[in-house]
Structure 1
C-alpha cells in the first residue's frame, strides 16, 4: 500500500495461482506461528479445494498445502480459530470441516453435519469456544467446541425466512449477527441459560435495514461499528453497535 497525496493507494504485490475455479473466500491466520513461520493465508473455491499459502524468506508466496478429497462441492467459506490452530471450511455439500495442523500436515479432525442444504458461511467466536454456520436451508447453527476437537450443536436458529448468506461473531462479545436473502439482519445472543434468541432484527420497515438481499457484514476491530452491503442497491449501511448489540 502506497500513499499518494495523503490517500492510500493499493497496488498488486503478488498474484497467487492454483485454484481451477472461482475463489470464494480468504482468511489470514491470526497466529501464523501455529501453522509455520511467517504469514499464512487460506483460500477456498469452486474447485472443492482449500489452499494454504505461506510467504517464503525471499518474499514470494508459495502454496504449501492443498486440502481436498473432503468436500465434494464448492468450498464457500473458510475461517481460522482465534488461536490459529484450527481452520473451519464450509461447503455446498452441506458440511463444515475442521482442520488441524499437526506433524507438518493438515488433518481433517471433525466434520460437522446437520444442515439440509449448502453451507454458506462459517465464523468463530472471539473466545474460540463457539462456531457458527449458516445455510441455504434458512437456518443458523451454533456449535460448541468440546475436548478432543469434538463439536456439539447447542442451538439451531430458524427465524430467517430465506437463504442465510453470512454469519459473523462480534469481535469481543458472544453475540452473533446473520444476514439473509430475506432482506433482514438478525442479532443473536445467549440468555444466560444456554438458550439462544434473536434479540434484534433490522429491516427496511424499521428504517434501518435493506430492501433486498443482504450479502455480507463486517465489524471493526473494536466492535463498536458494523457495516453491511447489498450489491444490487450498490449500498453500504453502517451501524453503531451501541444500539445493535443491546441484549436484554
Structure 2
C-alpha cells in the first residue's frame, strides 16, 4: 500500500491494483506465472518459488531458490532487505547474506531499526534476531520468550514489538542494548475459536499496537505501560478467513488487510 493505491495478490498469480477510495473494483489486473507471496515494492513481487518479478513487464529480476516471504525498505527507499524461506536475510541489491537463522528456519518478518544501522527478523525458530545491516551474519542479539513461531516484528524508537503463534505480543526495550522484555500482551477471551497472531504494526504517535489473527480478527491495544490489564481497545472480526497481510499508514490511520476469504478490507481508525 502507498498513498494512492493498494496491491493484492493470490496463489494463482493474480495481481490487482486498487485505488484508495470507495471504488470496490480493481483498476488493474495482471497474472504472473507463479504464486504471489510478498510485494517487495509497488513494482516488484516475490513468489513462493523464490523468483522476484518486475510486475509491469513480468521480467525475472532474481531467483533466490526459496520462498520470498517478507521485505523491508529503509526510509529513503535506497536499500532493501529480503527474508527467505530457508532462513537467509539478504540485501536486495548486493545479494549479501546479512543474517541466517539456525536450522534454516523461515523468516516471517523483517524491519529496520530507527537509525537504520540494525534490523530485526522474526522467525519460525521462536526467536527474533538483531543483525548489523552492514555486516555479514553479524548477530547482535537474540530475543526469546515466545513459545511458538514469531510471525511479525516492528521497531519503534527504543521498543521492539513482536507477535507469535502463541497468541501473545511481546514488547522489548533496546535501551543500553539490553533487549529486555518489558511487557507481554495476551489476546482476550472474547476472541473465539482456534487462532494465531499473524501480522503486527505499531503507530508510535497514537500509541497503538495493531494485530491480525488467523481467524479473521483485528486486535488493537493501546501501547500504555500504565494499562496493567492489557485489554485491547478493539477486538473485531473483519474477515471470514485467515488474515494474510496487513498494511498501515500512520498519516491517514488507514488499515488495509487481505484474507484467504478472497477479499481486501480498507478501513480508517478514529483515533480521537
TM-score bin, normalised by smaller chain: 0.7 to 0.9
Q: 1:135 aligns with which of 159, 164, 170?
A: 164
How far apart are residue 97 of structure 1 and its match? 0.1
Q: 1:193 aligns with which of 226, 234, 237?
A: 226
Contact preservation (8 Å) 1:117, 1:137: yes
TM-score, normalisation: structure 2: 0.70
Give me the whole-angstrom Cα distance separating, in 1, the residues matched to 2:179 and 2:123.
Answer: 17
Instruction: Please give the root-mean-square deviation of Cα atoms over the aligned residues, in Å.
Output: 2.5
Moved over 3 A (4+): 7-10, 69-72, 194-197
Q: 1:113 aligns with which of 122, 144, 147?
A: 144
The one-character-per-residue Cα deviations of 1:11-69 (angstroms, maximum 9, x if unpaired) are: 2477133x33111001112257xxxxxx2111111111111133xxxxxxx31334225
> What is the aligned partner in structure 2 of residue 59 from structure 1?
none
Contact preservation (8 Å) 1:183, 1:214: yes
Give me the whole-angstrom Cα distance separating, in 2, the residues matched to 1:174 and 1:144.
Answer: 15
Q: 2:178 aligns with which of 147, 150, 153?
A: 150
The one-character-per-residue Cα deviations of 1:133-153 (angstroms, maximum 9, x if unpaired) are: 111111111112121x22121
TM-score, normalisation: structure 1: 0.76
* Structure 1 unaligned regions, length at least 5: 1-6, 33-38, 55-61, 204-208
Give me the whole-angstrom Cα distance separating, in 1, the residues matched to 2:116 and 2:171.
Answer: 20
> What is the aligned partner in structure 2 of residue 57 from structure 1?
none
Q: 1:49 aligns with which of 73, 78, 88?
A: 88
* Structure 2 unaligned regions, length at least 5: 1-26, 29-42, 44-54
Give me the whole-angstrom Cα distance separating, in 2, the residues matched to 1:130 and 1:237.
Answer: 28
Contact preservation (8 Å) 2:70, 2:84: yes
Correspondence 1:1-248 to 2 at 5 A: 11-12=56-57, 15-17=61-63, 19-30=64-75, 39-54=78-93, 62-68=94-100, 70=102, 72-101=104-133, 105=136, 107-125=138-156, 128-147=157-176, 149-159=177-187, 162-170=195-203, 172-191=205-224, 193=226, 195=228, 196-203=230-237, 209-231=238-260, 233-242=261-270, 245=271
SS for the counterpart of 2:87 is: coil
Give me the whole-angstrom Cα distance separating, in 1, the residues matched to 2:182 and 2:248.
Answer: 24
SS for the counterpart of 2:96 is: strand
Question: Are the structure 2 counterparts of residues 46 and 210 from structure 1 closer, same or farther at C-alpha, using a change threshold of 3 Å?
Answer: same
Contact preservation (8 Å) 1:130, 1:145: yes
SS for the counterpart of 1:215 is: strand
Q: How many residues of Structure 1 are paired with residues of Structure 2 in the alignment?
A: 214
How far apart are residue 155 of structure 1 and its match? 1.6
Give me the whole-angstrom Cα distance separating, in 1, the residues matched to 2:62 and 2:109.
Answer: 18
How far apart are residue 116 of structure 1 and its match? 0.7
